[in-house]
Structure 1
Amino acid sequence: MKLKPHALRRGDRIAVIAPASWPDREKTLKAFQFLKARGLEVVYGEALARQYGYLAGTDQERVEELHQAFADPDIKAVFCVCGGYGTARIAAHINYELIQAHPKIFWGYSDITFLLNAIYQRTGLVTFHGPMLSSDLGLEDVHPLTQETFEQLFAPTTLCYTNALQALETIVPGKAEGPLVGGNLSLLVSTLGTPFEIDTRNKILFIEEVDEEPYRIDRMLNQLKMAGKLEQAAGIVLCDFHNCQPVKRKQSLTLDQIFKDHIAPLQKPTLSGFKIGHCSPNLAVPIGVMASMDTHKQALVIQEPGVSD
């Protein structure tokens, strides 16, 4: 069963939580102005204060924060402040029945990939892979399209991402249709062999990454391929691979060579170059809604809104 959260309205209260690493406080406070300018009331509790090593608090503290945000009837959306590391540590401790009983917007990316897909797979709730406060909206110069991508939360909206927005390349020609799933490559691979293993069957899989050398991209794509996740997908959307350059191993394959080695033989329609992920602009997509891709038109179309009226 697919669940859609209600669209936001001016005056709504939204919770900002830190389920992974702790954020840059100054950047986050600056990003709050972006949300407040859209008529939203920001509630953030201890999300900016807790530190437990590289985590934003203990596992229990971060789970409780997430539970409180979903259980509070006055909260209409839950925004993750930043990624880093830590969401996989708490996935098994989350009360998914609570989330299913109180469906609301859940937004983030990078390390949040683990929770975006876990929540969707366990509850049917559409989640959102989109720019976060500390790492995106707290920057000095935020791209207009990064700001605009939040508008899909305020009214049911369909989206069409084409080469008018970014230069796209066809890896394998064709058309595909299915629910959209995916996110950060490292996190998708980390789900394999766990109760939260990514389900790509008859779905459009989108992938992005940051700061990983090509040989590591190669290794992770190979693992996804050997696990059957690429072959089971209806189509593949390769997004931004920011700063994924050879450092340790200077003699390297290019990312295009790696994509063609692992993906082209599967003959799944594949487009690359979308500005989704650790990039500017950073375009948001809802996870779990029907989407289609057409390499001839070089387009990814989100066929249904991520929110309801």
Structure 2
Amino acid sequence: MIKPKALKKGDTIGLVAPASYALKKDINKSINFLKGLGFKVKLANNIYSKYYCFAGEDDDRARGINTMFKDKEVDAIFCIRGGYGVHRILEKIDYEMIKQNPKIFMGYSDITALHIAINNNSNLITFHGPMTVSDMKDGLDDFSFKSLEEILITGKDEMEIINPKDEKIKMLSKGKSSGILTGGNLALLTGTIGTPYEIYTEDKILFIEDIGEYTFKVDRMLRQIKLAGKLDGLKGVILGDFNNCIKEDEGDQSLMEVFEEMLSPLDIPIVYNIKSGHCTPNITLPLGAKIEIDANNLKLKIIEQVISHE
């Protein structure tokens, strides 16, 4: 996998809006936050646009991604928010051009579909992490910033993925393994199945998170993934934050009961309560990088350098 160049103060961060629109005042607040950290900011042309629920028409949103990767002045690309819209532009992205112009690309939620497509088609490590309007407009909490900094700026050869001190990593299934990290939002990665942009999971460690889905829907999505063969050959599973994923009816399975029934029989290392996803703090994870999962000792470790210091 291609490793993008490390981020440093004074670099230019390109802001893109490939999904839903955001309010201008919130975009501007997030710009000021980044500038306050010592970065320059460049905006995609559609950044303030609104077309139905989207940040501009499909062609404009795709052009924003392509332009920022091609722009030699831009050192890293941050998404302003998720929402909905990325699936509508996947076939409009120039993946070969991205491969020739690798740089940090970060976001989560609806951005999952772009992570998978870029990992697969551009062979580039991308980053599941905070977005500017969603997470930075009022400042970024210290833990999330430190996680982002260690991954995107410091970039050691090996580093442990740690939870906030008051949130314990927990084990669903014992074991120890290593593999390439893939995944993101469960609903979005499920939506890639059967398309040219579907997720590849064999010999990989699958990370999933979600928000606001009833537990029966989580069950249905996991069963779709299973029926599509995407649980076969996994090396491990990391369960991120499942914010407000509750029972619709008292008779429904709990979230943990769904996970236990669907995932425990895989007989691979599985950990849960990793604070990455629609949550605060929000851990930054390198998708496409090799990591180690040690469920026995409740440890996660990145075991290769994920950015380039050249």
State the match for 1:215 in structure 2. Answer: 216
Alignment gaps of 5+ in structure 2: none
State the match for 2:185 in structure 1. Answer: 184
1:101 correspondence with 2:100? yes
Q: Say if 1:163 and 1:299, in contact at 8 Å, map to a contact too.
A: no
1:89 correspondence with 2:78? no
In the aligned structure 1, how far is the partner of 2:220 from the partner of 2:29? 38
Q: Say if 1:113 and 1:184, in contact at 8 Å, map to a contact too.
A: yes
Q: Give secondary structure in 2 for the equivalent of 1:122.
A: helix
Q: Residues 185-230 of structure 1: CA distance to partner in whole angstroms, max 9, x if unpaired? A: 0011001000011001101110000010111111001111111212
**Alpha-carbon deviation of 1:28?**
2.6
- Greater Cα offset, 261-270 or 149-158: 149-158
State the match for 1:297 in structure 2. Answer: 297
Specify the code of the residue in structure 1 equivalent to 2:147. T
Specify the code of the residue in structure 2 equivalent to 1:192. I
State the match for 1:49 in structure 2. Answer: 48
State the match for 2:286 in structure 1. Answer: 286
Q: Give secondary structure in 2 for the equivalent of 1:20.
A: coil
State the match for 2:20 in structure 1. Answer: 21
Q: Give secondary structure in 1 for the equivalent of 2:115.
A: helix
In the aligned structure 2, how far is the partner of 1:55 from the partner of 1:39? 30
CA 1:68–1:48 in structure 2 vs 1: closer, same or farther (change >3 Å)? closer
- Greater Cα offset, 32-41 or 73-82: 32-41
Specify the code of the residue in structure 1 equivalent to 2:235. A
Identity %: 39
**Alpha-carbon deviation of 1:147?**
1.7
Q: Say if 1:240 and 1:278, in contact at 8 Å, map to a contact too.
A: yes
**Alpha-carbon deviation of 1:45?**
4.0
CA 1:36–1:305 in structure 2 vs 1: closer, same or farther (change >3 Å)? farther
- Greater Cα offset, 35-44 or 124-133: 35-44
State the match for 2:67 in structure 1. Answer: 68
State the match for 2:227 in structure 1. Answer: 226
State the match for 2:111 in structure 1. Answer: 112
- Greater Cα offset, 179-188 or 3-12: 3-12
Q: 1:147 aligns with which of 145, 148, 152?
A: 145
In the aligned structure 1, how far is the partner of 2:227 from the partner of 2:268? 15
Q: Say if 2:69 and 2:101, in contact at 8 Å, map to a contact too.
A: yes
State the match for 2:252 in structure 1. Answer: 252
**Alpha-carbon deviation of 1:296?**
1.4
- Greater Cα offset, 255-264 or 17-26: 17-26
Q: Give secondary structure in 2 for the equivalent of 1:212.
A: coil
Count of aligned residue pairs for this structure pair: 306
1:237 correspondence with 2:225? no
**Alpha-carbon deviation of 1:155?**
2.7
In the aligned structure 1, how far is the partner of 2:96 from the partner of 2:305? 23
Q: Say if 1:63 and 1:90, in contact at 8 Å, map to a contact too.
A: yes
CA 1:88–1:164 in structure 2 vs 1: closer, same or farther (change >3 Å)? closer
Q: Residues 257-309 of structure 1: CA distance to partner in whole angstroms, max 9, x if unpaired? A: 00010001111211111001001100001111110000111011111232100
**Alpha-carbon deviation of 1:164?**
6.3
Q: Say if 1:234 and 1:268, in contact at 8 Å, map to a contact too.
A: yes
State the match for 2:265 in structure 1. Answer: 265
- Greater Cα offset, 195-204 or 145-154: 145-154
In the aligned structure 1, how far is the partner of 2:38 from the partner of 2:163? 32
RMSD (CA atoms)? 1.4
State the match for 2:198 in structure 1. Answer: 197
CA 1:162–1:145 in structure 2 vs 1: closer, same or farther (change >3 Å)? closer
In the aligned structure 1, how far is the partner of 2:175 from the partner of 2:7? 36
Specify the code of the residue in structure 1 equivalent to 2:179. G
In the aligned structure 2, how far is the partner of 1:271 from the partner of 1:216? 21
**Alpha-carbon deviation of 1:92?**
1.1
Q: Say if 1:25 and 1:134, in contact at 8 Å, map to a contact too.
A: no
